[in-house]
Amino acid sequence: MLVLMTNHLNNAIALLQSATQSLAELATIPVDRQPLRETVTNTVEQIQRALAELTAAIDRPSLDKIPPELLTKAERLGIPLDDIEVRVAITTHHLSQFMGILNEIEQRFEEIRRVREYLLVRLPDIPIEQLGSRLPVYTAADFEWTEPRLSPTELAAIRSKYQIDRLLQQPPRHSTDLFKQIAAADRAWEQAQLVTQSDDLNDTDDISNLPF
């Protein structure tokens, strides 16, 4: 770990020294004979790379937590994952931003001339989105009963009011016994219906024998 940090620091120092040297030489060359724009652009790139090396020295930019399918997609799109600036950019931004920039590069691949630079510039502007399910996650603690428990006196009053002890002492009814009781009730009802119909027929016969 110490060796890696030292390497990043040495790389940062070398880049900053090179940038400083370029600016010093630029100041000594007449304006009409110096490539001002090119020199400044290269110097800015060196400084940005030096900042990435310093960031890597503090926090190693490991891609171990990035899903393999995203890294495969990035390689397929030509993104240099071994580049220190790219690694720092990926690891210092939200995973949803990395997913978003990959989708954007894939959709506009034919229009993008330099994929590496496009990623470095656009990645910070990609909005952060929630990953996974958007439904709320419930745990056992959400279903815990929060009302105060009843006192022993209150419980005794409820047991007495509804005769809970007597109900608990009654033997449980078997389902077969219950079906037998239902069948017996049906037979009793049918017999009652037959008796009622018989009585109605007798009443009809009595009426027909009356003299009118």
> pLDDT tens digit string along 72-117?
999 999 999 999 999 999 988 999 999 999 999 999 999 999 999 9
Cβ(47)–Cβ(15) below 8 Å: yes
> pLDDT tens digit string along 117-166?
999 999 999 999 887 655 555 565 655 555 566 678 877 777 777 677 77
In sequence order, which residues have a C-beta less than 8 Å from that of residue 12 and are 6 or more positions away?
A: 50, 51, 53, 54, 57
Judged on CB neighbours under 10 Å (0-12, 13-18, 19+), 3 is: exposed
Label residues 99-137 b or e (16+ Cβ within 10 Å = b): bbbbebbeeeeeebeebeebbbebbeebeeeeeeeeeee
- Look at the pTM and tell me if it is higher than 0.85: no
